[in-house]
Amino acid sequence: MSFFYGRLFAARPRLRSLFPPAMGGQHDRFFHALSRIAWSQDNPEELARHLEGLGRGHRKYGVLREHYPDVEEAVVATLRTFAADVWTAEAETAWRTAYRSAAEAMAGAAERDAADAPPWWVAEVVRHDRRAFDLAVLTLRPERPLPFAPGQHVSVQSARWPRVWRPYSIANAPRRDGTVSLHVRAVPAGWVSGALVRHTGPGDSVLLGPPEGAMTLDPDSDRPLLLIGGGTGLAPVKALAEQAVASAPDRDVLLVVAARTEDGLYDLPGLRLLESAHARLRVVPVVSREPAPGAVAGRVPDVLPRIVDGAAGHDAYVAGPAPLVRGAVSALQRLGVPLTRVHHDLLTAGD
C-alpha cells in the first residue's frame, strides 16, 4: 500500500489533496476494498451494490470519474512489481477488466446520486451530552433533510480535522424535527472521535456524508426481533427498536444491551423509558465483568439461551465490537437462527 500511494502521488501530485493527512488507516481501507473486489467476482449482484455505495460515499472526498484511470495505473504498477514472479499479460488483462468494471459502477452511481443529493450535509450540534469521560451523545440538526433508514450509519467530518471522515451509526428512527443522534466514544489517538467528544459543543457544525449500510429491518417480515448491541453498537439497534415499536406495535422486540461493567450501560435510563411506553418491547442489560443491579451477568453468547425463548423464530440484528458480533452470531447459529436472518455490518465496516 505504501508503494501504491507513493506511485499514485508521484504520478499525480494533485490527488494528494483528496486524502487525509495521516494515511495509515487509508492503507487498510483501500486494501480491504481492493481485496473485496478481487474475491467478489463470482457474486456480481452483491459486488455491484457494494461498489455503488462506495461510489456515492466517495463524492464527499471530491472523487470524480477522471480520477479512476490514475488509480488504475497505480494499482497495476503495484501488482506488477510485487507479483513479478507470477505476473502475466493475462493477469494484467484480468485485473484491468475487474478494476474498470468496479470503477464504472462507482462513477456511475456517484453521477446518478449527484442529480438529487448533495455530497455532504452541514449539521449543527444542538446538544452534546457527555455520558462518560470518553463518551458523548451528540444531537445534530442537518441543514436539509437527511434521508436514512434506521440501522444505517453516516460518515462525520469535524472542522478540527479536514478530509478525515469516520463512520457513526444513527441512534434513532427518523424524527419530525429532522435531528439525528450519534453515540461517539473517543478512542486512543482517535482524531475525529476525540474532537467530537472533547472539543465539540452546541452551536458547532460538522459535515455528514450520505447514509450507508444495509443492516435495516426486513419490510416483509413480522417475526419477533432480537436486537443485540454492545458498547456504542447500541446506536443502530436502538434505532431499529424505535422503528419497530412505532411501525408494528404488536411485534415482540427484545433488545439486549451488552457492557463490560455497569458504567457501560450509558443509555439505560432512555431505554427504560422507551420500554415503559411499549408493552411488547423488553430491554435486557447484560454485564460481563462485574455484577450490576437488574442486569444479567455473563457474556452475551453464553446468556442468550437463558434470555431468548424460541430464538430460531426471530430476526436478529447485532452491532458492537467485532468479538461480540462474532460470538453472538455463532451463538445464534447454535440456537437455530438461519444466517439469512442474522444481520450485522462487519463485512463493510472496514471500507
Tens-place pLDDT, residues 210-255: 998 889 999 999 999 999 999 999 999 999 999 999 999 999 999 9
What is the DSSP track for 199-217?
S--TT-EEEE---B-----
Lowest mean pLDDT among 28-42, 85-99, 115-129, 171-185: 28-42
Looking at the predicted structure, is the pLDDT value of residue 346 above 90? Answer: no
pLDDT 10s digits, 253-308: 999 999 999 999 999 999 999 999 999 999 999 999 988 899 999 999 999 999 99
Q: What is the pLDDT of residue 347?
A: 54
- 183-201 burial string, b = 16+ CB within 10 Å, else e? bbbbeeeebbbbbbbeebe
Q: What is the pLDDT of residue 47?
A: 86
Q: What is the pLDDT of residue 36?
A: 82
Task: Decide: 135 and 184 in contact? Cβ < 8 Å.
Answer: yes
Q: What is the pLDDT of residue 323?
A: 93
Task: Decide: 80 and 92 in contact? Cβ < 8 Å.
Answer: yes
Lowest mean pLDDT among 22-26, 198-202, 204-208, 318-322: 22-26
Collapsing DSSP states into helix, strand and coil, what is residue 307?
A: helix
Q: Which three cell numbers stand for residue 220?
A: 416483509
pLDDT 10s digits, 22-51: 787 788 888 888 888 888 878 888 888 889
**Alpha-carbon gap, residue 260 to 299, rounded angstroms:** 9
